[in-house]
Amino acid sequence: MSKRVKHPTRNAVVALAAAGMGASMVFGGGAAVAADSKTVPAAGPAAAVAAQAHTQAVQAKAAEAAAAKKAALVKKAAAANAAKKAALVKKAAAKKATSWVKPVARYTLTASFNQGGAMWSHKHSGQDFAVPVGTVVKAAHSGVVVKAGPNGGGDGPAYGNAIVVKHANGRYSQYAHLSKIDVRVGQTVKTGQNIARSGNTGNSSGPHLHFEIRTTPNYGSALNPAKFLRAEGVVI
């Protein structure tokens, strides 16, 4: 029995030793774990670097996308600008076709509309442009010639040689005191087309072009031609 009693003691010692070993092993294991857990924070910066790299990659991708978006916008804006420019050119061309021009290129303005004076039985019915005899007279706008000839084309001798052109807007332009008439009644004329040469015929105090804008083909229906042209974008 004593042998048997000793045995448990030895066994207990062995067991204790084993337990001690076990404890130390456990402790050692714990230390190792602690040591490992210390290396985990050491891996932290590496993870942060990786995260940062990832962030940078995401940012780069975002920047790339933004650049692509910007490029697309720039391209779109350029296309819009080109379309706008083309529309403006088209508009300018259309405007040119419908625009009015001065009947003479170089001149000195003399008697204006409604001006009183000994030269006219009533107020002055047009705008006078002083120009040398033989100056090219142009149609202020496209239209059809409805009067052309001496005696003011039928309006009276005071006008001398004269032309009246009918326009699409229902207005008429008249050119008087001409030295030479280069169109005939019924002829279609374009805006700016040479239709006559200026002169000093009729009741005229000196070489000039008398220019009227009328609401009918006839004398007595004149509007202020300077004001009319200004409304059409032509400042004399």
Exactly one of 138, 141, 147, 210 binds Zn ion (CB under 5 A); that residue is: 210
Exactly one of 100, 103, 128, 148 binds Zn ion (CB under 5 A); that residue is: 128
Amino acid at 96: K
What is the rounded radius of gyration, in angstroms, for the C-alpha atoms of the chain? 51
Q: What are the phi and psi torsion angles at 198 (to 5°)?
A: -70, 160
Q: Does 214 bind Zn ion (CB under 5 A)?
A: no
Copy the structure tokens of residue 2: 């004593």
Distance from C-alpha of 42 to C-alpha of 68, rounded to nearest angstrom = 40
Copy the structure tokens of residue 189: 């004329």
Q: How far is the CB of 119 from Zn ion (least distance, A)?
A: 8
Q: Which stretch binds Zn ion (CB under 5 A): 60-68, 119-127, 166-174, 188-196?
A: 119-127
Pick between residue 142 and residue 158 the one whose CB is nearest to Zn ion: 158
Pick between residue 110 and residue 187 the one whose CB is nearest to Zn ion: 110
Pick between residue 120 and residue 187 the one whose CB is nearest to Zn ion: 120
Q: How far is the CB of 97 from Zn ion (least distance, A)?
A: 29
Q: Does 212 bind Zn ion (CB under 5 A)?
A: no
- The CA–CA distances, whole Å, from 203 to 6, 49, 113, 122, 178 equal 161, 100, 16, 13, 11
Please give the residue ranges that form the binding site for Zn ion (CB under 5 A): 126, 128, 210
